[in-house]
A and B are shown apart, each in its own frame.
Chain A
């Protein structure tokens, strides 16, 4: 009985136009088990999920639920079969309460009027399913991302979902939040819910998964137990050995500071002082909300600061002026490339060229030929994989899109690179390529300030670590002496002190 899979994708295929994105893939989901989908971006994970969710029905093969063939032509059908998908972009209405969101589309009514009491009851029952303790009249916009995700899971379960698909649920969560999520997932396993889990983090797979289905280029490669060695997983996924996940090559560090921040303060940040010298990679670590992104944005000129100063090579920058920062040699790779880094409908060449368009123009005319040549050169150097430099950047994979944002600053000759979560949503192969870009910057006399939530990345790719906590720099560690524990201790340090003060 328990060996019978709940849901089976049996030799499914899918092509868009002439391109076959899924070729003969078989995946099983078992009740009470977590089935991991592993593969680089573009391997076909999303398409596979969309088949189950009814967004892209397969054009070959079968889908079996409880051993019977089913058709899932649209999302409604998927929902009716007890399949729920938690996408990266959450499907909640922020301005509505938890109760309203959970009962959205099936609002309990009495005499045509909304039955608030019943609505709250349904919502409370749903939250109980996953042991989430929140008031159901709270607006969703007041919740953190992790809690929103849990609310969405509760909503799915209250619709009697038996198959839960989690599409990179941990991508934007802090370590503590991931723990909370995994507790819920373990609870659901015990309840017999079958789950499909997608993540780029190999350590999470071992922690929560039962078995791993590896995909590469739309092909099914293997199903292996979740405790398979990480290097083996990477080899299966990439199809070749990756020598080193973090190929940091130290550069000679000069004495004089290239970037120096003195006494910088805003409503979020206070008294930030540090320097970054040529050849150095300095990581900014800390919990979510510690002020890493805010600090990076202030230095980049994207946001204003009230006190202090930012200087590049000794000359002070005007605050809140991206153009001035750019001229001084700062390049900013923002946190979210889709909403902050790229104009998705514009071409690869245009996206690469934004920072140099004005400076290379003559009499207000864009240097079209030069811009194109520069973009082509940098795309080749950064090995951006694409059909043509003129194709919309939307059609590139996440890693290649991210490389294009780097390419913009390489073209502009930036010496100070501010990286905010530079490898978020980027697959393993492209990650290593991005790390190699970081090495290239430092070896040519530039410096890097990198905010990252991934501690292995922080430890693997930086020379020094600044740990932030509650808008301050809580401490500094040489990467040699830094450990994940030491960083976490500093990251929560101010929190403890203030709690003690609060308790006294």
Chain B
């Protein structure tokens, strides 16, 4: 009797470990790097990691919505590029007021997301195919608009990549984005609907949840966050490159999945995605500090993804039984 009471009251370390594998991994990683190199735990290095994390994480926050709803969005990197490019074009090439440039970028992202969402919701294309098509279409449009050349960003977008005192603006944007995304995912009808649709589309539909609208909405959210991520990236460089964020979709997907989301839908957390993005960024940073070649870094990152997700699958299997 008393033993039952104590096991319930005492901190269940095993359960904590099993439920927060990515977080534990991150802490271990940081400790290891702290021991391995004195350059890891320094202010400038941590800021550097923060900036690197911000672009991937913000993109991955939006993607989390799509994955929770049992979709996938491969177009996030391209959408980031087009949004940054259009907002720069708006200011620099067209000479229109800079005050609107960020809003314009976000609108472009939302529009791209809407098109992908509509293709899959109303055109019945699998989200993988719809977003794969958008990946190419949107990247192509970016090249068309820029004519293959970088365009200087306006002041607003440049601000997104600058520092506010000692704190880099990307880190502030990251924190705000995490709060907003976490709030929308967990406390609004939009977020809860995404979980229901991802968990069982037919049951959600028969309960009166507007499945198609939910699908379009999650892609719009993904587009908006991608646009923000793209503008941060362009702001760091003070110019929108036509190849901006190319290949980032894979890192974003990896971050979401390492964070514990299930690609079959219905499961996912913003905090998990943030941790996933941090794991990726810390590993890259650590390998750089330890002067591991860029080629080997790719091998290591791939292994980390496989191990993280494998661990998660193993855990779920054990929980079921």
Please give the residue numbers on chain A whose beta carbons come within 8 Å of chain B beta carbons, in ascending order: 16, 300, 302, 322-323, 325-327, 332, 334, 339-346, 350, 354-355, 357-358, 361, 364-366, 368, 408
Interface centre among A334, A350, A357 (most CB of B within 10 A): A357
CB of B206 within 8 A of CB of A343, answer no
Which residues of B have CB within 8 Å of A345?
199, 266-267
CB of A323 within 8 A of CB of B202, answer no
CB of A325 within 8 A of CB of B188, answer no
- Among all A-B residue pairs, the 7 with the closest Cβ atoms: A343-B199, A326-B208, A354-B207, A343-B200, A323-B208, A322-B208, A361-B189
CB of B205 within 8 A of CB of A357, answer no
Complex: how many Å from CA A365 to CA B185? 10
Which residues of A have CB within 8 Å of B196?
343, 346, 350, 354
CB of B189 within 8 A of CB of A339, answer no
B40 close to chain A: CB less than 8 A = no
Q: Which of A16, A302, A346, A364 contacts B190 (CB 8 A)?
A: A364
Given contacts A350-B195, A350-B196, A357-B189, 15 further A-B contacts (CB under 8 A): A325-B208, A332-B206, A334-B206, A339-B200, A341-B203, A343-B203, A344-B200, A345-B199, A345-B267, A354-B203, A357-B209, A358-B208, A361-B189, A364-B190, A408-B207
Please give the residue numbers on chain B whose beta carbons come within 8 Å of chain A beta carbons, in ascending order: 187-190, 192-193, 195-196, 199-200, 202-210, 266-267, 321
Which residues of A have CB within 8 Å of B202?
339-340
CB of A340 within 8 A of CB of B206, answer yes
Complex: how many Å from CA A288 to CA B189? 38
Shortest distance between the CB of B120 and any CB in chain A (Å): 19
Which residues of B have CB within 8 Å of A346?
195-196, 199, 266
Which residues of B have CB within 8 Å of A341?
203, 206
Shortest distance between the CB of B169 and any CB in chain A (Å): 28
CB of B203 within 8 A of CB of A340, answer yes
Q: Given A334-B206, A343-B266, A345-B267, decide whether A365 and B200 contact each other with a Cβ distance below 8 A.
A: no
Complex: how many Å from CA A20 to CA B40? 51
- Chain B interface mostly helix, strand, loop or mixed? helix
Shortest distance between the CB of B248 and any CB in chain A (Å): 29
Q: Which of B200, B205, B266, B321 contacts A302 (CB 8 A)?
A: B205
Which residues of A have CB within 8 Å of B195?
343, 346, 350
Complex: how many Å from CA A117 to CA B267? 48
CB of A366 within 8 A of CB of B266, answer no
14 A-B residue pairings within 8 Å (CB atoms): A302-B206, A323-B208, A327-B208, A339-B203, A340-B200, A340-B206, A345-B199, A346-B196, A346-B199, A355-B208, A358-B189, A364-B190, A365-B189, A368-B187
Complex: how many Å from CA A345 to CA B266? 7
Complex: how many Å from CA A351 to CA B4? 30
Shortest distance between the CB of B315 and any CB in chain A (Å): 14
Q: Which of B190, B203, B267 contacts A342 (CB 8 A)?
A: B203
CB of B192 within 8 A of CB of A366, answer yes
Which residues of B have CB within 8 Å of A300?
206
Chain A residue at minimum C-beta to C-beta distance from B264: A345
Which residues of B have CB within 8 Å of A344?
199-200
Q: Which of A16, A325, A343 contacts B204 (CB 8 A)?
A: A343
Shortest distance between the CB of B116 and any CB in chain A (Å): 22
CB of B210 within 8 A of CB of A323, answer yes
Q: Which of B199, B207, B267, B321 contacts A322 (CB 8 A)?
A: B207
